[in-house]
Chains A and B, each alone.
Chain A
């Protein structure tokens, strides 16, 4: 008989300094803390793990190897929650102090969502493996994202999504900025919930109402409807979404028009027979070939 030993919630928070310079981080962090406390309250066996990520690295905020603080219930908060909250805030402060020059941040690529997801999945995996026989741990990851997607992480993110699907870890997404296709696909494939929150003031309310529940339990409550996920591919040459594409049979890269050599794997393609025979092709086709 599989005994459930509670739920594991992994919070992954985007800390990109340039994006947060225009938005208020404090309110969002407070809402996340309330969500973590509520999660730990629901069941004494529930577990929590928090990661913060930005474009310079991925940092584990909670739990830390040594106990950084001893909890106090001075403000009426339960001591256990106080330990968690203070640890997270202290670690956040350390990370923010290490931030480099803003100009340097603008030069670097986007936030390392792929690294954060991968570390979160490793954590879920290790926690499941360390259970006693017959116990099941339900894990899920909640991503709080603000800064836009960066296409260079596409492959790593897709692979982590498939690994999450195989390990039955749902990826929920709470997007604070623009819509993110990566997270839409992640939530759709792994069975999580995707939500975009425009009003950051009401964030705590939304998080408690939607993301506090476990995945199985969500079926009995009405959740925000699944957004229309764009499963099309973007072509390598223009990074444009396309309905119809040409796929290299060796390396699976997608192009919107014919090209003689693959950009990724340098495979040489045969020209289509129409061109070879010198047939008159339609003007549009010729123009395309001239461009590529």
Chain B
């Protein structure tokens, strides 16, 4: 039992960290199984495989801006910390799902307000989030969900519809019963996930369970970051998501064309300028500075091939390697299939089931985190 006067539990982040240290046989500190690394491997192993995924996503990020968010258990205040983490979340989200769209909603004074429309424009989202300052009023779950619902219900059915709520308050002021909203959401196949900042609240867990989302409550800032990062991975497809062929344009990149204005900045007098380079829409020939974007004139989604390729690793994930102790290796001179170095005094090696090559710990993390392809399998002729 901790003494009452010593501070809050969450302040005791660094209590008894020596208990995490493990010793090897020789009495030295064993660095390969520190907590952080174990955590990372666990997270990687949670990824889904052989499940149909909703790769094209429409996600609304709902941020709580009520007075509860002025609390400073996350330094300097919950809301400022959340703004920072949301930026990181948006960047990582677009990195993993380049053809998806995000919109941002904030809830304050019991009302929801859409501060950023569903689009692929990263900078606009980040700028709008940064512009939010004061936290006031109460949180309203119903109103926040309603605004998201209005937009998402009109989205095409081949894309997944999701809402991610980050809520710091334990109460909610709603004009109508939540159950009505729940039924509407379930009918429209909108998936709601909630990340709580203080304690578990029953209504949040009901909302997420009813719509097939997840509900987590954060422990500290790092955990919050991990929870947001988990939302970047595409979720399993719902049975009602119909596969369909989406018409998309692959505009060529023109570097020396005639001087013209681009469509993305045509409303913004300060940024509009005549340029020679840009992407030209194949159907209506209007110019854009960046892709992916939805053409304003003919509403064709414009992407380039690498964007589609970024989602491939979700669809064809790499199988986990089996962990085997180093003693079981056939001979001592075997080298890692990735970095071709000997294994030295590592405790475990990792084996790919398909090609039977062995990998060291560093290469294993690198292959599963970033590469998504086994070096051994790729280095063999098909």
Contact = CB atoms under 8 A, between A and B. Distances in A.
Interface of A: 53, 55-58, 60, 65, 108-109, 112, 114-116, 118-119, 121-123, 125-126, 129, 152-156, 158-163, 166-167, 185, 189, 226, 228-234, 242-252, 254-255, 258-259, 262, 265, 267-270
B242 interface: yes
B304 A269 contact: no
Contacts of A65: 333, 335, 340-342
A226 B255 CA distance: 10
19 contacts: A58-B379, A60-B340, A65-B335, A108-B381, A118-B338, A119-B375, A159-B309, A189-B306, A231-B252, A232-B305, A243-B250, A243-B282, A246-B245, A246-B247, A248-B243, A249-B241, A250-B52, A252-B315, A265-B243
B153 interface: no
Given A269-B244, A270-B242, A115 B378 contact: yes
Contacts of B242: 270
B277 to A, nearest CB: 11
B363 A126 contact: yes
Interface stretch (B189-197, B219-227, B267-275, B366-374): B366-374
Interface in B297-343: 300, 304-306, 308-313, 315-316, 333, 335, 338-342
Given A126-B363, A228-B255, A57 B312 contact: no
B315 A163 contact: no
A203 B38 CA distance: 49
In the A-B complex, the 8 residue pairs with the smallest Cβ-Cβ separation, listed nearest first, are A122-B338, A115-B379, A267-B243, A231-B304, A249-B158, A158-B309, A246-B245, A115-B378
A247 B246 contact: yes
Contacts of B360: 126
A87 to B, nearest CB: 14
A123 B55 contact: no
Contacts of B305: 185, 231-234
Interface residues of B, number: 57
Contacts of A189: 306
B248 interface: yes
Contact of A162 (B55, B244, B310): B310
A159 B373 contact: yes
Contacts of A161: 306
B381 A55 contact: yes
B114 interface: no
A60 B362 CA distance: 19
Given A158-B306, A233-B305, A250-B52, A109 B340 contact: no
Contacts of A163: 366, 370-371
A125 B363 contact: yes
B264 interface: no
Contacts of B366: 121-122, 125, 163
The dominant DSSP class at the B interface is: loop
A55 B379 CA distance: 9
A251 B245 CA distance: 10
Contacts of A232: 250, 252, 304-305
A53 B380 CA distance: 11
Contacts of A268: 243
Contacts of A247: 245-248, 308
Given A159-B313, A246-B246, A118 B255 contact: no
A249 B249 contact: no
Given A158-B312, A244-B283, A248-B245, 19 more contacts: A57-B380, A115-B378, A118-B338, A119-B339, A122-B366, A123-B338, A126-B341, A126-B362, A152-B382, A156-B373, A162-B306, A185-B306, A226-B255, A232-B252, A244-B247, A244-B300, A249-B241, A255-B245, A265-B52
Contacts of B333: 65
B111 interface: no
A268 B158 CA distance: 12
A233 B158 CA distance: 21
Given A160-B371, A228-B255, A232-B304, A258 B245 contact: yes
Contacts of B367: 122
B381 A244 contact: no
A53 B381 CA distance: 11
